[in-house]
Structure 1
């Protein structure tokens, strides 16, 4: 019988089963090369097409006299009524936008059979996003949450905001035995994210999206009304496909389960379960503004963030 086991954290296991602040700081170079502004991703909506993020958005600059060819939708009726002459609104690109990282550190994230724990991949992805946002002059914030604690980070600009996030990621990437006592859904964390997010934000949700909660779809739809929302689905290859032969035991924390790779019914049910889970996430992209990316624990994380990916 082969055992897949989540090893106890040791110094040798650093950055595989947990991640240090130093390792996240070391991702600065790679993160600064990552362009969130031009990131192209596979959007699972309207038949599936490549789309760009909305960008920083536009803010009102001034009103001027209407000129032939101006978009009638931009007519400033208030100024027009006051002056008696037709005026149109001019807009300019916002100087900055808030980039938010919603990072799931609940028990199911502390698992992998290849590469690093899902929790570590989430932390690395958040660090890359943070360094990219910092280089672009955007404000950085978000929410890092475990089975029982939520760390809320209000959007701020500068290196100190990045380091604060990295510190929280490192601390929460360490498994705590009390996590075995509860498996909360994500409703509360999504509700708190809605309070942090302001219109025009770019929001990355980094999770395996297990136990989302009854109100998750409603929360996501509300977030997507005025923001770009990326569902960054982190999964272990074993979750997508079981080994073909042998008896296996999978253990995480104090829990374990056994399965047979020779059982074709088990194989089929396992694949279907993963496909249904992925399909449910992609279905959320029917809401304009929600996008889907996926990344295996042994995949090239930087390439996935920059060019997109799917299981």
Structure 2
């Protein structure tokens, strides 16, 4: 009984510590906002808003006339230059919505000595910076269940304020909602949730035809399992305490289970033509930001995932 009480006490303390680290978000948000703006400013130079063919006023490109199209679509002046008929396409100017979900649950507060930021801090920095880039490109950005889509130039401030005033339970995965078919969704989480929950999330978010990207944000210690000797592992979201007598003997099994879990996630995203990649907090936030923005640039039209391969490089 004494041992059980001791385990329960340690578990409670660990949960309180993780919760306390999450609560210090109010104090650290100004720093995270500044870092996000700095990274976005470094990336945004030379990047132009995503342009698509559609109903707009600016010329986009000429393309070959397709049999069956209305003849009034033909640009006769351009077609007179050679033996083919051409259609003058205009730039697509109607902004659609990108939903961003940064996991703010207790497990995201973890940071080992080799990390530049905690998983929570890294997820928020990239979320803020990506929102800045997208709004600069004319898109609308929202947070499911927390902030309605906006194209406001002070989108980062709006996001930060929404998070500061959010008193709901910090869920690991986005709430159930039905995005529009044109919407894009980016979920940044450690994705240590059970596969059944991840499958349910993906099924709900993709039901309308929306596309998305899952980024697994992990700490270096979660990648390599650098533990040895007697170690107590405490799950900060209430799933108990596990003690390893010789932690180094668990390493190979741990790495195999992580690889299996990722393979299962990738299998589900591949079925939906979504992207899945991992990002370690020992790497730079700018690298992940570029990966995400490039993926969205490559997704022009209806093709997803053909030019940006998901993997462990982000």
TM over 0.5: yes
Change (3 A) 1:32 1:127: same
Structure 2 CA distance for aligned equivalents of residues 10 and 286 of structure 1: 34
Aligned residue in 1 for 2:31: 23
Kept in 2, the 8 Å contact 1:33–1:132? The answer is: no
Q: Does 1:300 align with 2:300?
A: no
Which is bigger in relative contact order (C-alpha 8 A, separation at least 6)? Answer: 1
Aligned residue in 2 for 1:271: 255
- Give 5+ residue unaligned stretches, structure 2: 1-9, 75-84, 293-310
Structure 2 CA distance for aligned equivalents of residues 202 and 170 of structure 1: 25
With normalisation by structure 2, the TM-score equals 0.65
With normalisation by structure 1, the TM-score equals 0.66
Structure 2 CA distance for aligned equivalents of residues 126 and 73 of structure 1: 44
How far apart are 1:72 and its partner, in Å? Answer: 1.5
Equivalent residue of 1:292, what SS?
Answer: strand
Would you say how many aligned residue pairs link Structure 1 and Structure 2?
A: 260
Structure 2 CA distance for aligned equivalents of residues 37 and 230 of structure 1: 24
How far apart are 1:299 and its partner, in Å? Answer: 2.2
Aligned residue in 1 for 2:301: none
Equivalent of 1:232 in 215, 221, 233: 215
Deviations 1:55-86 (A, max 9, x none): 55432469xxxx9x834267138999xxxxxx
- Give 5+ residue unaligned stretches, structure 1: 40-54, 81-86, 144-149
Deviations 1:162-216 (A, max 9, x none): 31112234556x9x9x77xxxx774xx3532x3xx33433321111122334523
Kept in 1, the 8 Å contact 2:229–2:247? The answer is: yes
Equivalent residue of 1:234, what SS?
Answer: strand
Kept in 2, the 8 Å contact 1:248–1:259? The answer is: yes
Aligned residue in 1 for 2:104: 105
Aligned residue in 1 for 2:136: 135
Aligned residue in 2 for 1:47: none
Deviations 1:212-237 (A, max 9, x none): 345233234436x344x111111122
RMSD of aligned alpha carbons: 4.1
How far apart are 1:275 and its partner, in Å? Answer: 0.5
Higher strand share: 1
